Amino acid sequence: MSATGDTGEPRGPVFLDGSPSADRPSGTDPARQPRRAGWLSPLLLRLHFYAGVFVGPFVLVAAASGALYALTPQIEQAVYDHELHAPAAASQLALRDQILAADAYVGPDEQIVAVRPAPEPGDTTRVMYAGEDLGASETRAVFVDPATAEIRGDLTAYGTSGALPVRTWVTQLHRSLHLGEPGRLYSELAASWLGVVALAGLGLWVTQRWRARRKKTRRPAASGPGYARTRSRHTTTGLWVLGVALFLSATGITWSEHGGGNVSDLRAAVGWTTPAVSTDLSGAGGDAPDEHAGHHGGGAPAGAVAATDVSRGAFDSVLTIAQDVNVDTGLVEIRPPTEAGAAWVVQEIQRSYPTEVDAVAIDGQTMQVVDRVDFDDFSLVAKLSRWGIDLHMGSMFGFVNQLVLFFAGSAIAAMVVWGYVMWWQRRPRRGTRRVGKPPERGVLRRAPWWGAALALLCAGAVGVFLPLMGLSLAAFVVVDLLVGALRAPRRSVPVR
């Protein structure tokens, strides 16, 4: 997005700077002016402008809430310290005794969905139950002191990440603005357009820096007019966070309802799905897991009904067997069968590097291993997908990963604000207009045939693969045509 002067000529974009030179001096003969720039830079500027104006608020909310989400693990540890931690002890009770204590607390009719043993001394064990009053992907988590079986707390957990209420609230804000499934359209728009706006801004910066033959700007200007200072901050910040912005856009799309579905279909078509441990004791195989469950739902469904005859002592047995096979990390989830003819699953849930997500399925009757999945055997695409999700969530490299996401999200939010400030600062000083005019119209009309065809082909491909972005792009075009038609000067017929 950009601002213009009284002449209506484009002056500066919002996200990554690429503003043309200042207006020509007054009194200069227009006939002696150099020809206008080519078609590509003005096209990028116009796309940058409209996307920034209309999608900027969505990007702002997504970036700000994402920055806040990056810090929620530490917030969660502080807010729920009593539930998450217990006095460290030299020995622990068997899982059976811990689960029985949780059963006595919640009542005999509650069904266990999963158990997460205490990963380290000083941590608590989570016994997770289903419930009719819970939402999608929610479980009732009872926290047990592994040394004494004391109940330390009772909270609602969300997804396979086990997010507790504070982090869940931030997650739902980032995901859907707490508006449910319709609210997910906002985050899909933000993720789709963030990459486009960033690339358009980069293209503007490259083309105009090449024309000006100037040195690259790496730090914000410390002084100068208000607009120049804002533009310098905006440009420099955009260059530094460009790679992270593109990464967040690409990985964010995979979570979206429409574009993400197309990504999943494409991966399935080319055989790039993630291996899943099969719980079918008949040998029919299982479905691929939801890789995004740790952030945007998934995990043990609230409506799952565990078998009523599940032995509490079997949790210790299946964990021991899994540890002999391929489970070698403290972060583990044990899931009992949800129906007759299904196996137990012991799944590693360590998402930090090195990634530990091995899983094993065990027949509860014979205590034999019926299937196993090892992360080392994942295809490269499946590994990259897993790592991309974990980087997006800030879990792969711990606090360093979180800091990068926090500063990147804050920087993207600041660039949106600076963009609107630039639009305001470049408004005409005279007249009634409150903000600058949009960049020039009719760019494609002076483009070569192959350029116009390429632009239309790209727009069509985007519309098919990212339907929501395609619809919003079509809406931009319709609005632009209507505004142009209303503002077109009417030809006057001379009176003889």
Give me the half-sphere count of Cα atoms (radius 13 Å) on the Cβ side of residue 37.
23
Domain ranges of the chain: 3-25+35-68+183-255+403-484
Express each pLDDT in 147-182 by its tens digit: 999 999 999 999 888 999 999 999 999 999 999 888
Return the pLDDT at 139.
95
Please provide the average confidence, as pLDDT, over all residues in the chain. 82
C-alpha 412/C-alpha 70 separation (Å) is 14
Predicted confidence (pLDDT) per residue in 93-152, tens digit: 999 999 999 999 999 888 999 999 999 999 999 999 998 889 888 999 999 999 999 999
**pLDDT tens sequence across 364-402:** 999 999 999 999 999 999 999 999 999 999 999 999 999
Query: CA 450, CA 436: separation in Å to the nearest integer?
Result: 31
Structure tokens at 184: 């997910």
* 127, 56 Cβ separation under 8 angstroms: no
Residues 470/476/481/483 CA torsion (nearest 10 deg):
170
Specify the pLDDT at position 429. 66
pLDDT tens readout for residues 402-453 = 999 999 999 999 999 999 888 888 776 665 555 555 566 667 777 788 878 8
Q: How confident is the model at residue 13 (pLDDT cuts 50, 70, 90)?
A: very low
Rg of the chain on CA atoms, in Å: 28
Q: Where are the alpha helices (DSSP H) in 334-466?
A: 380-393, 398-425, 449-465
SS (H, E, C) 282-322: CCCCCCCCCCCHHHHCCCCCCCCCCCCCCCCCHHHHHHHHH
CA distance 431 to 437: 12
Under a CB-based contact definition with an 8 Å cutoff, are residues 236 and 219 in contact? Answer: yes
Task: Work out the average pLDDT over 40-57.
Answer: 84
Residue 58 has pLDDT above 50, yes or no: yes
Beta partners for residue 114, in sequence order:
128
pLDDT tens per residue, range 316-359:
999 999 999 999 999 999 999 988 889 999 999 999 999 999 99
Going by C-alpha positions, the residue among 268, 271, 285, 273 that lies closest to residue 361 is: 285
* CA-to-CA separations, 389 to 45, 291, 335, 436, in angstroms, rounded: 32, 8, 23, 39
Report whether 243 contacts 446 (CB < 8 A): no
CA–CA separation, 107 and 149 (whole Å):
16
Percent of the chain with pLDDT over 70: 79
SS3 content of the chain, % helix, strand, coil (to 5): 50, 10, 40
d(CA 235, CA 373) in angstroms, rounded, equals: 46
